[in-house]
Amino acid sequence: MIEVDHISKFFGPVPAVRDVTFQVGKGEILGFLGPNGAGKTTTMRILTGFFPPTSGSARIGGLDVFEKSLEVRKKIGYLPENVPLYKEMIVEDYLKFVAEVKGLDRSQRKKAVGQVVETCGLEPVIKRFIRNISKGFRQRVGLAQALIGDPELLILDEPTIGLDPKQIFDIRNLIRSYAGEKTIILSTHILPEVSMICERIVIINQGRVVAVDSPENLSSELSGSGRIRLRTGGPAEDVRAKLAQVDGVISLGESDGQGSFVIEIEPKEEIQPRLASAVIEAGWDLYELTPIAATLEDIFINLVTQESEEAETVSREDVSDE
Amino acid sequence: MSNFWAVFKREFKVYFTSPIAYAVMIIFLVTAGYFFFTGISYYSMLSFQASQNPQIYKVNLSDIVMNPLFGNISVVMLLMLPALTMRLFAEEKKTGTYELLFTYPLRDVEVLLGKYFAALGVFAVMVGLTGVYLIILLFFGKSIPDVVLAGYLGLFLMGAAFLALGILVSAMTENQIVASVVSFGLLLILWLLSWTSSMVGPQLGKVFEYLSLIKHFNNFSRGLLDTADLAYYLCFIFFFLFLTLRVLESKRWRG
Ligand SMILES: Nc1ncnc2c1ncn2[C@@H]1O[C@H](COP(=O)(O)OP(=O)(O)OP(=O)(O)O)[C@@H](O)[C@H]1O
Ligand SMILES: [Mg+2]
């Protein structure tokens, strides 16, 4: 459905997106994850035809987003980052306007508006000015205008930002309910959100893609170089000394005062039995021995910091070369 | 076409939800009303006296009365119309609605014309409402000179030209105040161009005179319809709308 092919975007000399490539299949929900300023919004703006890439190309449904902009835009429902809406309009009039510019004819318009009002729960505010409704409702109006005309592709830039937990829950459910039916790209900083909603994640940092995979694969990939929590009744110093000698242990964290340690282990080592017997041998009680699965947070921080360390070393090398 | 209508209807309606359009209209109607009543009364008085003493009043009444009348109204337009166009693109850029508007399946030209004709529509309503004054005058038995019709056509064309320049400036900034001040300044320069024509030598003077907005209006307000004047205003409008379209396109390129 979407093929992004080596796109870069420069604002003057400043690169916002550099050599980004990824694909999204039909009916797939893709999460776009990255810290502030990573280039998520910029990439989405290129896909929606708001501006063209400086180099590279992107196709949606086989059509180039720049060459065939008008046709591509017909397929897309877009929710921009800060939900820019016409504040001086009444919700209903606004949605009718959107239905009209999306090319629905008079008879379809009313039905289409009614439909999105229902899906997004807008009945209570339908006759009110947009400037007077709450942030949560504004966000829903934004989502409603994206949904009008039943587009094949939804591009949602931080759809749940600034909402209360109940609304976040509702909107996530709504997005998930389109799984398999619509292709969706959504960006977010919230990691649990992507693991909940998305089938695939693109992690982007400083304009570059640093990882593309499913949430599960990303987790398991990193849990290889995992950590283990171990709690025993032994004296902290002795336990540290003893466990440090166990094969496969990389390092031992400090005790938390209750005899619990976080142990970093070699990737893919089956180390638990050895740790257990070491504790038992020493005659201490063993209360807990659990692997800590890497969360998406870990992966994210890991990838993002790795990347910037690399970038730093590269730039240092550049300097020393001169 | 339906896209044009959608944009047009929205823009036209929005004008009447903001105080700016009302302020512009009221000020225009009050000042224009003042000029109308004083001008037409003066005209009736002079034409009455002329009919009494044909020897003394061998003057062209439309020159003394109607020309200044429409001249005054056009100055009010010069002051007020930039306030109608300033928001058209600048506001959308400031609030970010620009992003949605330009990612809907709309052609740039549909957006531009929808907005332009909405402003033109408001202006037409404004000018049309001054027709009430004519009706009142007729009601009180005053005679309405024929030049009024030509004058109206001139006013409308000149206003349409002002709006075309104003929309270009609005597309180039996201600050409405800047948009209105710059449009006013540019219009004033184009307006006054004919005054400088005597100072810049005969050749350039001719060019300046031709380009001047007021020069072409003078014929209309004297009741003279010339296709050259008509062509001037239409070219002016087309030229500025075309430039606006290019500005919108280049915005897409630069992001
Ligand atoms: N119009 C612009 N002019 C200049 N620089 C820009 C422009 N838009 C974005 N940038 C720069 O491009 C980079 C990427 O911005 P972008 O908005 O795409 O990030 P993002 O991933 O969406 O961040 P956030 O999570 O904060 O929304 C940033 O460094 C930003 O400063
Ligand atoms: Mg963003």
Q: What is the DSSP string of A88-143?
A: TSBHHHHHHHHHHHTT--HHHHHHHHHHHHHHTT-GGGTTSBGGGS-HHHHHHHHH
Between A97 and B132, the higher pLDDT residue = A97
Inter-chain contact B96–A84, Cβ cutoff 8 Å? yes
Query: What's the average model confidence in pLDDT over A263-281?
Result: 80
Does B1 contact chain A (CB < 8 Å)? no
How high is the mean pLDDT of chain A? Answer: 85
**Res. A221 pLDDT band, cuts 50 70 90:** low
Cβ(B215)–Cβ(B192) under 8 Å? Answer: no
Q: Which has more confidence, B211 or A287?
A: A287
Residues across chain A:
322
The residue whose CA is least distant from atom 6 of ligand 1 is A11
Asked whether the predicted pLDDT for residue A265 surpasses 90, the reply is no
CB neighbourhood size of A193 (10 A): 21
For residues B221 and A111, which has the higher predicted lDDT (pLDDT)? A111
> Does B66 score more than 80 pLDDT?
no
* Interface membership of B7 toward A (CB under 8 Å): yes
Specify the range with the lowest mean pLDDT, choosing from A230-234, A318-322, B219-223, B246-250. Answer: A318-322
Comparing B52 with B187, which gets the higher pLDDT?
B187
Question: B147 versus B104: which is more confidently predicted?
Answer: B104
Q: Give the residue extent of every domain in chain A.
A: 2-220, 224-292
* pLDDT mean over A132-145: 93
Tokens 């009313």 locate to A110
Q: Tell which CATH architecture fits domain A2-220.
A: 3-Layer(aba) Sandwich (3.40)
More confident residue, A164 or B53: A164
Alpha-helical runs (H) found in B16-57: 19-52
Q: What is the mean pLDDT of residues B191-212?
A: 76
Q: Which of residues 20-79 of A touch B (CB under 8 A)?
A: 45, 48-52, 70-71, 73-74, 76, 78
Could you tell me the pLDDT band of residue A313, with boundaries at 50, 70 and 90?
Answer: low
Does residue A13 sit at the B interface (CB-CB below 8 Å)?
A: no
pLDDT of residue A319: 46
Q: What is the pLDDT of residue B73?
A: 87
With vertex at residue B97, the alpha carbon angle to CA A32 and CA A101, rounded to the nearest 5 degrees, is: 95
Taking an 8 Å cut-off on Cβ atoms, the answer to whether A89 and B106 are in contact is: no
Q: How far is CA A186 from CA A156, A171, A176, A190, A313, in A?
A: 5, 12, 11, 11, 32
User: What's the CA-to-centroid distance between A207 and ligand 1, angstroms?
Assistant: 9
Contact A178, A154 (CB under 8 A): yes
Burial class (CB in 10 A: 0-12, 13-18, 19+), B169: buried
Alpha carbons B122 and B116: distance in angstroms, whole number: 10
A48, A52, A70: residue with CB nearest B107: A70
Q: How far is the CA of B99 from the centre of ligand 1 (A)?
A: 14
Q: Which chain B residues are within 8 Å of A52, Cβ to Cβ?
A: 252-253
**Spacing, Cα A45 to ligand 2 middle (Å):** 10
pLDDT digits (tens, 9 = 90+) for B230-244: 999 999 999 999 999
Q: How far is the CA of A44 from the centre of ligand 2 (A)?
A: 9
Evaluate whether A43 touches A7 at the Cβ level (below 8 Å): yes
Residues of chain B contacting A73 with CB distance shorter than 8 Å: 103-105
Task: Indicate yes or no: CB of B106 within 8 angstroms of CB of A101.
Answer: yes
In this structure, the residues whose C-beta lies within 6 A of any atom of ligand 1 are A 11, 14, 16, 34, 36-42, 81; B 255
**Average pLDDT in the B8-28 region?**
91
- Fold of the A224-292 domain: Alpha-Beta Plaits (3.30.70)
Q: Is the per-residue pLDDT at A322 higher than 70?
A: no
Label residue A192 by pLDDT band (50, 70, 90): confident
Is A7 in contact with A60 (CB distance < 8 Å)?
A: no
Interchain pair A78, B100: CB under 8 A: yes
pLDDT at A225 over 70: no
Q: Nearest chain A Cα to B17, which residue?
A: A88
Q: What are phi and psi of B67, to 5 degrees?
A: -60, -50
Task: Give the pair of three-digit tokens for residue B24.
Answer: 């512009």
Distance B87 CA to ligand 2 centre (A): 26
Q: Choose the closest CB to B255 out of A11, A74, A78.
A: A11
CB A161, CB A8: distance < 8 Å: no
Q: What is the mean pLDDT of residues A1-15?
A: 91
Structure-model confidence comparison of residues A290 and B81, the more confident one: B81
pLDDT-derived band at A268, boundaries 50, 70, 90: low
- A190: nearest Cα among A45, A35, A79, A306: A35
d(CA B142, CA B125): 24
pLDDT digits (tens, 9 = 90+) for B164-174: 999 999 999 99
A29 has pLDDT over 90: yes
Tell me the pLDDT tens digit for each residue of B101-135: 999 999 999 999 999 999 999 999 999 898 887 78
Quote the pLDDT of residue B85: 95
Assess whether pLDDT exceeds 80 at residue B198: no
pLDDT score at B183: 95
Q: Whose CA is nearest to atom 30 of ligand 1?
A: A37
pLDDT score of B7 more than 50: yes
Q: Is residue A137 predicted with pLDDT exceeding 80?
A: yes
Query: Which helix (H) or strand (E) segment is B11 a member of?
Result: helix B2-15
Q: Is the pLDDT of residue A223 over 60?
A: no
Greater model confidence, B177 or A248: B177
DSSP, collapsed to helix, strand or coil, labels residue A180 as coil
Q: Which amino acid is at B125?
A: V
Are residues A265 and A227 in contact, defined by beta-carbon separation less than 8 angstroms?
Answer: yes
Specify the pLDDT at position B113: 96
Q: How does pLDDT run across A41-95, given as a tens digit for each residue?
A: 999 999 999 999 999 999 999 999 988 899 999 999 999 998 999 999 999 999 9
- In 3D space, the residue among B185, B207, B186, B187 whose CA is nearest the CA of residue B196 turns out to be B207
Which residue type, as a one-letter code, is found at position B194? Answer: S
Q: Is A149 left (phi over 0), alpha (psi -120 to 50) or beta?
A: left
List, as ranges, residues with CB under 5 A of the ion ligand 2.
Answer: A 40-41, 81
- What ipTM score was computed for the predicted complex, to two decimals? 0.87
* Encoded tokens for B74: 């056009």
Residues of B in Cβ contact (< 8 Å) with A78:
100, 103
What per-residue confidence (pLDDT) applies to A277? 86
